[in-house]
Amino acid sequence: MVTTPLVPSDYLDLVSPLRAGADLRGRIEAVHPETGDAATVVIRPGRSWRGHTAGQYVRIGVDVDGVRLWRAYSITSPTNRQDGRVTITVKAIPDGRVSNHLVRRAKPGTLVQLDQPTGDFVLPLVTPTKVLYLTAGSGITPVMGMLRDIEFDDVVMVHCAPRPQDVIFRSELHDLVADKKLRLTEVHTDTDGILDIARLDELVPDWAERETWACGPAGLLDAAEGHWAEHGVQERLHTERFRPSIVVAGDGGEVTFSATGMTVDADGATPLLDIGEEAGVLMPSGCRMGICFGCVTPLKAGAVRDLRTGEITEAEPGVLIQTCVSAAAGPCDIER
Amino acid sequence: MTAIDPTAHLTAEQIEELGRELDAIRDAVIASRGEKDAAYIRKVISAQRKLELVSRGVLLFSFFPPAWLLGTAGLSVAKIMDNMEIGHNVLHGQWDWMRDPKIHSTTWEWDHVSPSEQWKHSHNELHHTYTNVIGKDNDLGYGIMRVDEDQTWHPFHLGQPLWNFINACFFEYGIAAYDLELGKNLPKRRRKNPEFRARAKAVGRKIRKQVLKDYVIHPLLSGPSFLTTLAATFTANLVRNIWTHSVIMCGHFPEGVQVFERRSIKGETRGQWYLRQMMGSANISGSRAMHFMTGNLSHQIEHHLFPDLPSNRYAEVAVKVRALFEKYELEYVTGPLPKQVVSAWHKVFRLSLPNKKPKVKTPDCEQELVAA
Ligand code: FES
């Protein structure tokens, strides 16, 4: 009542954005380069952070060129880090707006939005005696969170990266090897070629007896799942797939109105507002020319094209589109 | 509606070309929106909140006259910022591209008795689509005034200077009533309409909250300064109302601005729509502070052409738009605030009386013909 129409937190956020009870945010405190295209971002999370389990990931909302974009990254810091900071390790992927921003441009002091950590690619409560970590590229990041968190008596890691200098956390891994805490096989795919899963028998002869956590590109994980299943030990394999949402922007496509359960074909030139109305979906509308914002609707999946500018908007959580000036750019899902 | 159509010299092709040139201006801004713009609106919002907090704090001691003055001035400015540069523009979706749910047209609520949702409908949708079309755009005279010679005169209009003044003082209530289309909905039969009742309820709720905050809670918090804080808040609301009313009057009422007939917008092309916005709006010239305090509605012409571009970009857009006015030999109606306010009020007075029979050619009369 005192602050209507705002709420008290709108004012408190001005002074203390990380306080308990605030929307969950974090402050970037440092960015350490790991390899040529990967960096570790140190974040102090707000007081409402509930903590994570090794192997989990966190969704983080970063403002890139003024636009808030959300991505998920594995947490690479151990759960018992004394200063309460958490780290994510990000590899810049070509054309990745968020990853390139975090690796190359993010500055200490910047606020980012956070979700609570989540994911079930985690270690079990009962400690296995023998462990295998099978990783490739940035698939090493959740595993690094595990490695740093709990020590096992017998840990083997097989990690693939194009070249030695592309191995994220390489010196730390080698330190672990020197301390006899880890046995490590690096596969350098530029010279050795892609890892043939059958080679595991030779690299880690007792692989089938080990509790295995695997993370990397789909090809590797598919091969691993096949291999483990073939030997009837699939319950020992835990995999984590990073799903980069690859949207191919085309011209028109199948439009799903998920709230109504309607699916129709749309061309690339008809506004989604018209498409919806024709299909009998109740669409909010106003000016029908892109000026009143009375037709904004969540875009749940796929991509749309702005009929005025040609600009493509891809689905992300929280993305709203003006249906009166947007057309399908490939299959998409409109929440109506 | 005009005796002499100031756009008569343009061919259909020219009008479409004009539309394309305006689209290009818009695209250029959209392509360059970024971090700086986001930082701008965040800074303004944070400054507004701090100013309001501090002013309300100062008003706790408003029994002390200098504190009253300072607090009232601060609160007035804070309320103006909230309504103009922030509220109006956020609700236009100007900042939706940032994807920040806290600064978004679908979530923003402003310090105003009209709920955002209703205002967006009557303002963004009706006023901005049907700008200056008599019978479609209720902003023309707000349903209580006659603003064009072609509207039939009625003895009721004799009082319109007074109505307009009262409306200025209680502008936010005027807007709320207007968003509810009270005039149309008050007759018995309509009053029962459940949709109208729901909206009226929402307004009632909002008014209750606003009044409770400004005239009960904050005065009570001030303890011994109860009455002075009450007076301060009332004054701040009054100042804000008169200010916003004046700025808004300058947007479409000054002499030289065109109004349009319903049938003129049938099958309107994009170019023609743009042209109507150009001829139906008027700017206020002045300093940067002036533009800021009007929420950049001093760039009304640019705002009407591009209602969803971030307000901080209107100044740079204005340069290009003005060049187009020159190129197409159109009149860019602008002037300092006092001049525009006087011009608008002059029209209110003039049209409160029935039309004069046009006399034969004096320079003055000529101008009036064009202007009307
Ligand atoms: S209906 Fe007005 S912006 Fe889409």
What is the per-residue pLDDT across B291-300, written as a single tens digit (0 to 9) for each?
999 999 999 9
Q: Side-chain half-sphere of B253: how many Cα atoms within 13 Å?
A: 29
Average pLDDT, chain A: 94
Beta-carbon separation of A296 and B210 below 8 A: no
User: Collapsing DSSP states into helix, strand and coil, what is residue A19?
Assistant: coil
- Cross-chain residue pair A2–B30, CB shorter than 8 Å: no
Indicate if the pLDDT at residue B357 is higher than 80.
no
Distance B44 CA to ligand 1 centre (A): 27
Q: Which residue has the higher pLDDT, B22 or B265?
A: B22
Rounded-to-integer distance, Cα A43 and Cα A47, Å = 12
Q: For residue B371, is pLDDT > 50?
A: no
What is the pLDDT confidence band of residue B139, given thresholds at 50, 70 and 90? confident
Q: Which residues of A touch B27 (CB under 8 A)?
A: 308-309
Q: What angle do CA B207, B213, B215 make, to 5 degrees?
A: 90
pLDDT (mean) for B270-283: 96
Q: List, in sequence order, every beta strand (DSSP E) within A189-260.
A: 211-215, 237-240, 253-257
Q: Is the distance from the beta carbon of residue A217 to the nearest atom of ligand 1 less than 6 Å?
A: no
Which atom of ligand 1 is nearest to A324's Cα?
4
Strand spans (E) along chain B: none
* Exposure letters B143-173 (e unless 16+ CB within 10 A, then b): ebbbbbbebeeeeebeebeebbeebbebbbb
Residues in chain B with CB shorter than 8 Å from the CB of A309 are 27, 30
For residue B59, the Cα-to-chain-centroid distance in whole angstroms is 29
- B50 CB within 8 Å of a chain A CB: yes
Place of tokens 């880890």: A182
ipTM: 0.90
Interface contact B50-A289, CB threshold 8 A: no
Q: How far apart are CA B134 and CA B1, in angstroms?
A: 10
B369 pLDDT above the threshold of 70: no
Mean pLDDT per 10-residue interval, chain A, length 336 residues:
88 92 95 97 96 96 95 95 95 93 96 96 89 96 95 95 97 96 96 94 96 95 96 96 70 93 94 94 92 94 93 89 96 94
Residues of A in contact with B273 (CB under 8 A): 289
pLDDT at residue A113, as a whole number: 96
pLDDT of residue B359: 54
- What percentage of chain B has pLDDT greater than the value 90? 81
Based on C-alpha coordinates, what's the Rg of chain A?
23
What pLDDT, on the 0 to 100 scale, is given for residue B79? 98
Interface of B with A in 284-323 (CB under 8 A): 307-308
- Looking from the CA of residue A284, the nearest atom of ligand 1 is 1
pLDDT band with cut points at 50, 70 and 90 for residue B372: very low
How close, in Å, is residue A100 to chain B by CA atoms? 16
Cβ-Cβ contacts under 8 Å, B125 against chain A:
286-287, 292, 294
Pairing of strands A25-35, A111-114: antiparallel
Tokens of B325: 């006015």
Q: How far is C-alpha B196 from the chain's CA centre?
A: 24
B255-269 average pLDDT score: 89
Give phi and psi for A222, each to the nearest 5.
Answer: -60, -45
**What pLDDT does residue B360 have?**
53
Q: Ligand 1 mean position to A117 CA, how many Å?
A: 37
Q: Which helix (H) or strand (E) holds A58?
A: strand A57-64
Distance in Å, alpha carbon of B308 to nearest chain A alpha carbon? 6
Residue pLDDT, tens place only, A107-147: 999 999 999 999 999 998 888 999 999 999 999 999 999 99
Q: In 3-state terms, what secondary structure has residue A45?
A: strand
Environment class of B132 (CB within 10 Å of its CB; exposed 0-12, middle 13-18, buried 19+): buried
Distance to chain B for A4, nearest Cα, Å: 7
| Cα gap A303→A327, rounded to integer Å | 9
Nearest alpha-carbon partner for A314 in A328, A294, A296: A328
Residue B362 predicted with pLDDT over 70: no
Ligand 1 atom closest to Cα of residue A288: 1
- Distance CA(B325)–CA(B256), nearest Å, equals 14
Q: How many CB pairs under 8 A join A and B?
A: 102
- Asked if pLDDT for residue B3 goes beyond 60, the answer is no
Residue B2 has pLDDT above 70, yes or no: no
pTM: 0.91
Given a cut of 70, is residue B175 above it in pLDDT? yes
